[in-house]
Amino acid sequence: MICWRVVNYNQNYYEIMVKQEPVNVNWQTLFVFIPIVSIWAFWRIQKLKRGLAFVLLSEILGQLATYGVAFAGHYTTAVVIDIVMIFLSPAMTIYHTRKWSKEWNKKFTNS
């Protein structure tokens, strides 16, 4: 159930609370491959800011490395870096999504 809760009355800051229940780790992993749904997957485990920062940072760093090497004239190396980042970025996102989902689920099994 989604509900609005006022966190700080002075700053009028609102946050949407998530349902406090375990999530299916396999579904969370599948959601990583669907762009808009991946945002929902991070939100469900209360890691939206961290997840988006992680995804954006890995993409930006990959592109900067590729363009930096290509600008230096090493086009073959730039292609290799780009191919590695195409596989490395989603793999790291999947790893962290699974890790964070398991941590989220532990909160409910220990209680």
Residue in 92, 21, 32 with CA at minimum distance from that of residue 61: 92
C-beta atoms surrounding 31 within 10 Å: 21
Give dist(CA 48, CA 46) in Å, integer.
Answer: 6
pLDDT in tens, the chain (111 residues): 454 444 444 454 455 678 888 999 999 999 988 888 888 999 999 898 898 888 888 888 888 888 888 888 888 888 888 888 888 888 999 999 999 999 999 998 875
HSE (side-chain half, CA atoms, 13 Å) at 109:
8
The structure tokens 């600008």 sit at: 71
Q: pTM for the complete prediction?
A: 0.75
Let me know: does 35 contact 93? Beta carbons within 8 Å. no
